[in-house]
Amino acid sequence: MLNAIDTIIIDGLSFSLPLFIMAIGGIYSERSGVTNLALEGLQGMGAFVGGLTAYVMAQHMNPDSQLPYYVSLLVAMAGGCVYAMLHALLCIRFRANQVISGVVINVLGAALTGFLTKAINRTVFGAASDRFVLSVSDRITVPGISKIPILGAFFTKIYPFEIIIIVIAVIAWYFLYRTRFGLRLRACGDNPAAVDAAGGDVAKTRFIAVMVSGALSGLAGMCFAYSILANFSSSIYMGYGYLAIAGYIFGNWEILPSLGACLIFGFARSAGSEIVLALGMPAAYSDLVMTLPYVVTLLLLVFLSRHNQAPRALGQTYDKAQR
């Protein structure tokens, strides 16, 4: 039997980690100089194509198979990546206002996936439904370690995606801080003219960075669909994308501090649910508790973000001809 603290840790992690990988996506985009408010729409689009894939596959396969699960994560990354190219195209190629482009991506994503879900359900599956119901993901408990009090909770009932996220996060960290590509990417966000003068391609670097943010957001969206909702529906648009943005802003556009911020959000949320449960409050109050991460966001904003420094060239289109 799990006690309350274990539950807080288990649920907190499964919420924090998708948030974290999405925040890394945001860091890639913004450290390259492209404002990315589109995370929300990108994760929704990822969850949509991933959810659809899993739903279709599940119809033709053994219900116990975990294959649709892994394929859907991959497809979600591809979907988010392709959808992000729209943002990249608008911001980099056509020099649109990056904030507006981001908002458009979000609104368009929510409307389009909502519509398509209903339309596909009706025409293809002959069902009047606004969601794709997903199979339940396996969860892994590491034998032995999980028995350790409190610490063991970090190894109990882990979603497989949590491990995938940690692996990808390590790779993303290495690329951003240790490789030639990462060095140039971060330079693009501070002074693109320096990269240009050094013979780098600012537009290409930024384009790739935005695509990475799409792929990572798509992955996050699919993880939310599996863990929190167990389906794809428009309730995926709960503002997780914005929360991820808050996460990396508190993390000062650096990967490790952003992990800290995302963990705080995740644990605030799961602790809130436990409190509702423990106090035996009516369900209506649980919605109130779900606002906890956002309240924490506000408080952190007031106290912590004063000294944070956004990338200097963030939001500026780069025009070679301008001197």
Partner 1 sequence: MEESPYIVEMRHITKRFPGIVANDDVSIGVKKGEIFAILGENGAGKSTLMSMLFGMYEPDEGQIFIRGKEEKITSPSYASHLNIGMVHQHFKLVSNYTIAENIVLGVEPMKKAAGFLPCVDRKRANEEIAALSKQYGLEVNPTDVISKVNVSTRQRVEILKMLYRKAEILIFDEPTAVLTPQEIDSLLRIIRNLRDGGKTIILITHKLEEIKQVADRCAILRRGKLIGTYDVASMDTKEMANLMVGREVALTLEKAPASFGKTVLSVSHLTVKNEDGFPVVKDVSFEIREGEIFAIAGVSGNGQTQIADAIAGLLPAAEGKISILGKDLAPLDIRSRARAGLSYIPEDRQTTGLVLDFALSDDLALRRYNREPFEHRGVRDQKTTNTFGEELIGKYDIRSANGVATIVRSMSGGNQQKAIVAREIEEDAKLTIFVQPTRGLDIGAIENIHRQILGERDKGKAVLLISLELDEIMQLADTIGVIYSGSIGKIAPASEFTTAEVGEYMMGVKHA
Which residues on adjacent β-strands are paired with residue 35?
none
Look up residue 96 and give its two tokens: 């649109």
- Count of residues engaged in binding partner 1, rule: CB under 8 A: 22
CB 113 within 8 A of CB 234: yes
* 221 contacts: CB under 8 Å, gap ≥ 6: 18, 22, 42, 43, 44, 45, 46, 47, 48, 50, 76, 80, 236, 240
Among 94, 123, 126, 180, binds partner 1 (CB under 8 A): 180
Q: Which of residues 200-219 bind partner 1 (CB under 8 A)?
A: 200
Cα separation of 51 and 114, whole Å? 12
Collapsing DSSP to helix, strand or coil, 140 comes out as strand
Q: What is the DSSP letter of 236?
A: G
Interface with partner 1 includes 60 (CB under 8 A)? no
Interface with partner 1 includes 178 (CB under 8 A)? yes
Helix (DSSP H) and strand (DSSP E) numbers for the chain:
12, 2
Q: What is the DSSP letter of 158?
A: B
Among 87, 131, 157, 186, binds partner 1 (CB under 8 A): 186
Residue 239 falls in which region: left (phi positive, over 0), alpha (psi -120 to 50) or beta: left
Q: Length of the chain, please?
A: 323
Shortest Cβ 28–partner 1 spacing (Å): 16
CB 155 within 8 A of CB 164: no
Interface with partner 1 includes 251 (CB under 8 A)? no
Shortest Cβ 59–partner 1 spacing (Å): 42
Interface with partner 1 includes 199 (CB under 8 A)? yes
CB 133 within 8 A of CB 59: no
Among 61, 138, 167, 174, binds partner 1 (CB under 8 A): 174
Minimum CB distance to partner 1 smaller for 134 or for 176? 176
Interface with partner 1 includes 320 (CB under 8 A)? yes
Among 136, 279, 302, 321, binds partner 1 (CB under 8 A): 321
Amino acid letter, 228? I
Cα separation of 42 and 84, whole Å? 7
Shortest Cβ 129–partner 1 spacing (Å): 47
Minimum CB distance to partner 1 smaller for 78 or for 193? 193
Shortest Cβ 166–partner 1 spacing (Å): 18
Minimum CB distance to partner 1 smaller for 179 or for 291? 179
Shortest Cβ 178–partner 1 spacing (Å): 4
| 317 alpha carbon, distance to own chain's centre | 25
Collapsing DSSP to helix, strand or coil, 183 comes out as helix
Sole window of 90-98, 103-111, 195-203, 263-271 interacting with partner 1 (rule: CB under 8 A) = 195-203
Q: Which residues of 195-204 are buried (b: 16+ CB within 10 A; e: fewer)?
A: bbeeebebbe
Which residues on adjacent β-strands are paired with residue 133?
231
Shortest Cβ 30–partner 1 spacing (Å): 14
Minimum CB distance to partner 1 smaller for 7 or for 205? 205
Shortest Cβ 74–partner 1 spacing (Å): 23
Among 194, 229, 275, 290, binds partner 1 (CB under 8 A): 194
Interface with partner 1 includes 323 (CB under 8 A)? yes
Sole window of 126-134, 186-194, 233-241, 282-290 interacting with partner 1 (rule: CB under 8 A) = 186-194
Look up residue 111 and give its two tokens: 């409307």
Binding residues (CB under 8 A) for partner 1: these are: 174, 178-180, 183-184, 186-187, 190-191, 193-200, 312, 320-321, 323
